[in-house]
Structure 1
């Protein structure tokens, strides 16, 4: 039974890494990734041994994160895929890891932004120009920021504190 629990827990880091890679290479996070995280949460939560109260709290945090993400999307701070990934990750992490997740994501977002500003400053223009199309797009002046990368870093950093990982004792 423990092997199944750990296998289900591996879905989370695998999908957030895929989301980050998709975002950095295409500036999009496919809906199927967030949907798969939400769908996989149900069996992972049930098999983790988490109480119904803990699962309910995870659901409430996920809904709250979706509302926050929708607000950030409406303010044009993040993309729609980022908002959905943020909510799906918060669902998995639950309480009390949600605050650490937000802090880690914000710090990673700041570092990502500074890194991209450096990349777009002109110093790296010869390197960017000779790179693949996704690197040229990433290094384009005034380009978007693939915030899914920051969300994935925050999610992976706080995953061991997450409600399901704690419930299993991972």
Structure 2
């Protein structure tokens, strides 16, 4: 959803640039990057309690830009999500069993960071809250989930089922 808007915006800028270029007016198109700038190496990530995570998950737009350490289990990492997005159930604390992670969450990041991650992997991640994301489900509906930009991710142990 969000990416379609960005793409459409770039197209409009290209047309505007073409019109201005042919009219003799100087105009430079802005450089557009698909990835958010990486945080400074000194960025700090707060540890959370389960309750603190629940409050963030309840209203992720109110926490945009905040950085945390989260834990989770990958629920989808395949050709449908692509190489820079995955879905996971997430919490602010580590759990023993996969079913204990309460929040369906969309994680975005570099393809290289997600290259070795597959469904059912448990992980620890340093993230920045991007807000909420509404997406279409496989059965034709829509759902809204917190969106987190992954700055680093480590697979811990395979989740138990």
User: Which is strand-richer, 1 or 2?
Assistant: 2
Query: Max radius of gyration: which structure?
Result: 2
TM-score normalized by the length of structure 1: 0.26
Whose helix fraction is larger, Structure 1's or Structure 2's?
Answer: 1
